[in-house]
Structure 1
């Protein structure tokens, strides 16, 4: 998970300055159906801000809770490396800080 400019895990506002609604309520909504899905992190319904995540595997339990907005189309080697990083004890967080230096959108 990333996208928090404060680095606290609870910060970051949307482009509009306020939380925005979820976008998974239509029958054609994208699903967490594979590795490399990009989706919004939130604290509950209608709380989307700036935080987002990339899945390491399919995660159907997140469908209907988090808005999918894209899919990784390259950089699988980077995702593999991220998945193999040592974790802080008892968490999914990497033991050392990871920073994204560049994102290319297609």
Structure 2
């Protein structure tokens, strides 16, 4: 980063002239630059997360009951619409009681306990 290098050069110059006040100010500026860099990295991560959420959102198929499926998912796994809407988490619904040979019936989210009556 060019700005950081310029501050480093100014710091070295201030050391040469033995100016404690200028050295202190340059240390403050250097610390602020590091804070800004950290905030920038956090913001870039947040933008990346929002892009991922947006991509998933465009792939979501909503239904009358509180569940969603993904258009790209050939298996059409039932996922909790409540968890997606609240926390952007794709949580698979579980059959209650467990019957692995039949999809129709009541499903429940293991996280928020939302119940879905799947009849298709």
TM-score, normalised to structure 1, is 0.22
Higher-RCO chain (CA-CA 8 Å, sequence separation at least 6): 1
Structure exhibiting the larger radius of gyration computed from Cα positions: 2
Please, what TM-score do these two structures have when normalized by structure 2? 0.21
Larger strand share, 1 or 2? 2
